[in-house]
Copies of this chain bind each other. A is one copy, B any other.
């Protein structure tokens, strides 16, 4: 049977461009015109490949998550809970102020509150944030079992805390905080972990 005309653009490269537009303007602030221009394609190609604006966002988020996965692996491989926290927050300070990306975090800026009809966008972003939090919690459960965290420590609470600080840094970065300011926040945050660690 026939195979049809082949796609003339690289879907991953196009998704990277779309990701940046969503990152900079949020889901609702990003227009199809801006997206197609950044992706270098026309609307029909976008809809053929991704179905809808929301479908495009999900595809961009999948790619964002995939890119982040190896980064998280390295963080979680740190020997102690304290070091996991430090790598995580210091890494966040760097990436959220990296001029190669828009400032802040896509999972926060993308849209915390949306208009009627886009209610699942905040949901979708929250689910991705929760994924990171769960990874952290599992890591801290292990840290507690290994005696790295005190027996009184609550791994879920610590993961939530780290996740909250991470999101908070995203808010700060989105409003122009520089790398040094974010590193200060990270440094103070990590102190809360020393209280929960053995030695």
Contacts and interface: CB of A to CB of B under 8 A. Distances in A.
Copies of this chain: 2
A115 B157 contact: no
Contact of A112 (B30, B112, B160): B112
A196 B189 CA distance: 12
B157 A25 contact: no
Contacts of A28: 26, 28-29, 115
Interface in A104-125: 104, 108-116, 118, 122-123, 125
Highest count of chain B CB atoms <10 Å: which of A109, A115, A123, A156: A115
A157 B26 contact: no
Contacts of A30: 115
Contacts of A112: 26, 104, 108-109, 112, 171, 174-175
Contacts of A184: 154, 156-157, 160-161
B175 A26 contact: no
The 9 closest A-B pairs by CB, nearest first: A168-B168, A29-B115, A126-B175, A164-B168, A26-B113, A167-B171, A192-B192, A157-B184, A161-B188
Given A160-B172, A161-B184, 6 more contacts: A26-B114, A31-B115, A126-B175, A161-B189, A168-B168, A191-B192
